[in-house]
Amino acid sequence: MEYRELIAQAVAAKKSAYAPYSHFRVGAALLAKSGRVYTGCNIENVSFSATNCAERTAIFKAVSEGEREFEAIVVHGDNNDYLPPCGICRQVLAEFCDLESFQVILANHEEDYRAVTLAQLLPGAFLTENFKPGNFTEE
Ligand code: THU
């Protein structure tokens, strides 16, 4: 799979970042199995914990428009190295994305990226199958 176009969209999405506290801008571009791309940027808040990462902005946009299945996400930050998604974003991605096949593309620019699976980023994930009525003992 060629990720050049998806990377370009993540780089462009970074321009919309609202990051007045960290000054660290992040862009993401999420490819749905429908073929549509949903972009996201980080949106910070004066109450720091209310900050939303670029990856979650992208997947929340997509899910809110009816998408449920995804192929890959590009993450691109203001740092000069591959930027891995935070733990909260990994967990949110794991709700909808197949751990073994979903590709997380850590991109510096269009020719410099590293692809890893969600399984590599989130081993031993807590998944919906671990949370079924009857699968645990009710007091
Ligand atoms: N951030 C993201 O948007 N995605 C990541 O993968 C890592 C961190 C944002 C959150 C915050 O606005 C800033 O980067 C510094 O942590």
137 is a domain residue: no
| 93, 54 contact by CB (below 8 A) | no
| Radius of gyration from C-alpha coordinates of the chain | 15
CA distances from 23 to 7, 64, 81, 102 (A): 21, 28, 16, 29
For residue range 45-103, list pLDDT tens digits in order.
Answer: 999 999 999 999 999 999 999 999 999 999 999 988 999 999 999 999 999 999 999 99
139 is a domain residue: no
Residue 26 structural domain: 4-130
DSSP bridge partners of 109 = 112
**CATH code at 108?**
3.40.140.10
- Model pLDDT, residue 13: 98
- Alpha carbon of 27 to ligand 1 centroid (Å): 9
pLDDT at 28 over 90: yes
136 is a domain residue: no
For residue range 113-131, list pLDDT tens digits in order.
Answer: 999 999 999 999 999 999 8
- Model pLDDT, residue 136: 64
Number of domains in the chain: 1
pTM exceeding 0.85: yes
Answer yes or no: 55 catalytic.
yes
Alpha helices in the chain (DSSP H): 4-13, 54-64, 87-96, 118-121
Q: What is the DSSP letter of 15?
A: G
32 is a domain residue: yes
- Model pLDDT, residue 139: 63
| 101, 67 contact by CB (below 8 A) | no
99 Cβ inside 6 Å of ligand 1: no
Nearest atom in ligand 1 to the alpha carbon of residue 41 is 3
- Model pLDDT, residue 135: 65
| 101, 117 contact by CB (below 8 A) | yes
Q: Of all protein residues, whose CA lies closest to atom 5 belonging to ligand 1?
A: 85
Catalytic residue of the set 2, 55, 100, 138: 55
pLDDT at 3 over 80: yes
Q: Report how far apart the first and last C-alpha atoms of the chain are (Å, whole number).
A: 49
